């Protein structure tokens, strides 16, 4: 199975590639690090930037609900960027089929959680709009 995802290079991406063009990354355009290391760097940066807003997540332990609060920086990971890209693209009206090509999702079922987030966002926006006129 071919897992290759082709993404067009826009001017923002080209600027990053140009910035590092003089460096040798063993034949690659950019250095490759593990996802774990990337996520740790991301957390470190977010902590330095004081992303400390408390966020509560729900966990279930032995079938019992447990609300756990963390500063925002502790919950940052590269997948947050993926979710943001997908949800923002959907909200901007980019076709689901196009987004699937960029993200490598193979079917609608895998995209459903993102679609549900966008629908909730649209519902919340409409409530805000209606409340504005009250």
Kindly state whether residues 71 and 81 are assigned to the same domain. no
| Residue 107 token pair | 């079917």
Kindly state whether residues 71 and 99 are assigned to the same domain. no
The pLDDT tens digits of the residues spanning 86-97 come to: 988 988 889 988
**Is residue 1 one of the residues assigned to a domain?**
no
The pLDDT tens digits of the residues spanning 42-92 come to: 999 999 999 999 999 898 989 999 999 999 999 999 988 888 899 889 888
Model pTM score: 0.61
Check whether 33 has a pLDDT greater than 80: yes
Kindly state whether residues 25 and 65 are assigned to the same domain. yes
User: What is the span of the domain harbouring residue 16?
Assistant: 7-76
Q: How far apart are CA 109 and CA 114, in angstroms?
A: 10
* Among 17, 5, 20, residue whose Cα is nearest residue 82: 5
pLDDT band at 2 (very low <50, low <70, confident <90, very high): low
Q: How far apart are CA 37 and CA 42, in angstroms?
A: 9
**Is residue 63 one of the residues assigned to a domain?**
yes
The pLDDT tens digits of the residues spanning 9-20 come to: 899 999 999 999
Residue 90 burial (10 A CB sphere; 0-12, 13-18, 19+): buried
C-alpha distances (whole Å) from 123 to each of 73, 86, 91, 114, 120 are: 28, 18, 12, 14, 5
Kindly state whether residues 103 and 62 are assigned to the same domain. no
> How confident is the model at residue 45, as a pLDDT?
96
**Is residue 110 one of the residues assigned to a domain?**
yes
**Is residue 115 one of the residues assigned to a domain?**
yes
Number of domains in the chain: 2
Of 51, 76, 101, which one is at a domain's C-terminal end?
Answer: 76
Please name the residues in contact with 30: beta carbons below 8 A apart, sequence gap of 6 or more: 16, 17, 20
**Is residue 2 one of the residues assigned to a domain?**
no
| Residue 130 token pair | 């209606």
């Amino acid at each position: 199975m071919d897992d290759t995802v082709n993404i067009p290079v826009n001017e923002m991406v080209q600027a990053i590639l140009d910035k590092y063009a003089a460096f040798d990354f063993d034949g690659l355009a950019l250095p490759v690090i593990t996802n774990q290391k990337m996520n740790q760097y991301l957390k470190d940066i977010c902590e330095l930037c004081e992303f400390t807003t408390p966020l509560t997540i729900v966990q279930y332990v032995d079938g019992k609900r447990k609300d756990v609060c963390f500063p925002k920086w502790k919950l940052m990971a590269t997948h947050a960027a993926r979710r943001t890209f997908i949800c923002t693209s959907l909200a901007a009206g980019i076709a689901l089929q196009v987004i699937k090509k960029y993200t490598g999702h193979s079917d609608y079922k895998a995209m459903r959680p993102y679609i549900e987030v966008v629908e909730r966002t649209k519902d919340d926006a409409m409530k805000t709009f209606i409340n504005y006129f009250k």
